Chains A and B, each alone.
Chain A
Amino acid sequence: MELPIYLDNNATTPLDPRVLEAMLPYFTNKFGNAASRNHAFGWVAEEAVDYAREQVAKLIGCTEKEIIFTSGATEADNLGIKGVYEMYQDKGNHIITLTTEHKAVLDTCKHLEKAGAKVTYLAVKEDGLVDLAELEAAMTEQTILVTIMYGNNEIGVIQPVKEISAIAHKFGALFMTDATQAVGKVPVDVNADGIDLMAFSAHKMYGPKGVGVLYVRRKNPRVKVTAQMDGGGHERGMRSGTLNVPGIVGLGKACELCRLEMDSEAARLSALRDKLQNGLTVLEESYVNGNTEHRLPHVTNISFKYVEGEGLMMAMKDLAVSSGSACTSASLEPSYVLKNLGLSDDLAHSSIRFGLGRFTTEEEIDYAIENTKNAVNHLRNLSPLWEMFKEGIDLSKIEWAEH
């Protein structure tokens, strides 16, 4: 076992060696521009891109023509939301999303508000899931788009996308989902789930960084987005720019591997994740954040009360994890996702996200459990709050000198 152990697979995943192997020729011998229609170099590149498109389409149950390659999920979110807003302006200007979305969605919506959009940011329930009745109540005749993520990046909860899309469609709106954390990990089927647009990226599923997808439905209904990048009219005019052929080849291979290995891998990961979670929640005053039933198989987010997340991560020095603690961000604000679950700031500060992946072993999980438990105990011995808690002092009754 090599240290440190990588348990931050929601941030990014390592490239699978099989993916790298598939990509390599497209950096060197097969370097052609997929848009060069007049010679063999271009044809070879185009063929590789077409094949990758099939591999991607097969994973999410769509046709090849519905795949728009982008530089990543952030660009796909931007293109999908801004593109729909501009294309469907005549129909309405109302967008519905969640407060717990990724910044790529939230900030895109904020941008559109300045341009005249009306955006509803729905709060989530305590378990992180959308309240379907509230969603339905928020729908209006002006609603053109409902954009709600598939799986959350911090707590891993999976939204009821089928029900959400049914509500959106009932009111004649489109349904878009940022499925960056879900595609490749759990079965995502654009038809069964009623998805009209979907953003995801390669580097969360053992593919390379810098390549992603916007899925755009072509039938029932035919969805159109206004291009956000002008140029050569690539990707059916929706996203200009020379295609990143090696990246796209890698994405395709990554999708294929995820499709073939998903069932066994999800079962393996959820067993390891549960082992980790059970091993850590034996600690007093530890709380799992978010719904644990509707959750991605490889994530758990746990708050260890009375210790601060960044301090804790320092003690977990052989583990690469992440925290909702403010100290880990430039803003000094703790995670807005956790705060939106109704978590108090101190519990948000005390949270650690563990993200397992394809290369995580049981030996690593055993080590992680011991390392984390020792770190929590070490820091609780240093914590005045833990001492006060143990003495039975009600911390909420203390007048803290807020700073």
Chain B
Amino acid sequence: MAYSEKVMEHYTNPRNVGTLNKDSKSVGTGLVGAPECGDVMRLQIEVDENNVITDAKFKTFGCGSAIASSSLATEWLKGKTVDEAMTIDNMDIVEELALPPVKIHCSVLAEDAIKSAINDYRVKNGMEPIELAKSHH
């Protein structure tokens, strides 16, 4: 299967690879997927007092599309408020990266990772976790 140019670009020059301090109260961490399934994403956000995401980092074990999806997600997250981040939909990622149907699960995983990171941040800061729709895969 040939990859789209955008997938190749993110894959070759992934943005925001790295690790934030998961013990910090201002950091939310989402770890989704499973090694047995061939993809695991860890996405982290750092949130300031105005509820704005000031930093985002990822590490991903998975195929090129999974790496590109998480790289793109971190790019989109930075500068958004947490509420705005909640509205990122996996189909936006599919469209931006021109993912083929067989790779849609990579975008779903990225959306799950975003929501899971937000919930981790919320719970750490005394807020209720947001009820998540059962992931579609």
Contacts and interface: CB of A to CB of B under 8 A. Distances in A.
A403 B40 contact: no
B19 A349 contact: no
Contact of A400 (B40, B62, B102, B109): B40
A385 B35 contact: yes
B63 A395 contact: no
B129 to A, nearest CB: 14
Nearest to A315: B11
Contacts of A327: 38, 62-63
B57 to A, nearest CB: 10
A330 B8 CA distance: 21
B17 interface: yes
A197 B100 CA distance: 43
A400 B60 contact: no
A384 B67 CA distance: 11
Contact of B40 (A310, A314, A381, A385): A385
Contact of B64 (A311, A346, A403): A311
A349 B34 contact: no
A311 B40 contact: no
B97 interface: no
B14 interface: yes
Contact of B41 (A307, A314, A384): A384
**Chain A interface extent, by class:** 20 to 34
A395 B61 contact: no
A334 interface: yes
Interface in A218-268: none
Given A311-B62, A311-B67, A327-B63, A384 B38 contact: no
Contacts of B17: 381-382
B41 to A, nearest CB: 7
Nearest to B64: A314
A401 interface: yes
A388 to B, nearest CB: 9
B32 interface: yes
A308 B109 contact: no
B79 interface: no
B63 A387 contact: no
A314 B67 CA distance: 11
A319 to B, nearest CB: 15
Interface in A378-403: 381-387, 395, 400-403
B38 A382 contact: no
Interface in A75-89: none
Contacts of B60: 382-384
A117 B64 CA distance: 43
A325 interface: yes
Contacts of B66: 308, 311
Contacts of A402: 34, 36-37
B123 to A, nearest CB: 16
B37 A403 contact: yes
B19 A314 contact: no
Given A308-B38, A381-B17, A330 B102 contact: yes
Interface in B81-98: none
A394 to B, nearest CB: 12
Contacts of B50: none
A345 interface: yes
Contacts of A395: 35
B77 interface: no
A402 B41 CA distance: 12
B62 A403 contact: no
A382 B59 contact: yes
A382 B62 CA distance: 10
A332 B137 CA distance: 12
Contact of A314 (B3, B31, B42, B105): B3
A314 to B, nearest CB: 4
A269 interface: no
Interface in B1-40: 3, 8, 11, 14, 17, 19, 31-40
20 contacts: A306-B61, A307-B61, A308-B39, A308-B62, A308-B66, A310-B63, A311-B62, A326-B37, A327-B38, A346-B36, A346-B38, A349-B36, A349-B38, A384-B42, A400-B34, A400-B35, A401-B34, A402-B34, A402-B36, A403-B37
Given A345-B35, A403-B37, 17 more contacts: A307-B61, A308-B38, A309-B38, A311-B67, A326-B38, A327-B62, A345-B36, A382-B59, A382-B67, A384-B60, A385-B35, A385-B40, A400-B34, A401-B32, A402-B34, A403-B105, A403-B109
The 9 closest A-B pairs by CB, nearest first: A400-B34, A346-B35, A345-B36, A384-B42, A310-B63, A384-B59, A314-B64, A349-B38, A327-B63
Interface of B: 3, 8, 11, 14, 17, 19, 31-42, 59-64, 66-67, 102, 105, 109, 112, 135, 137
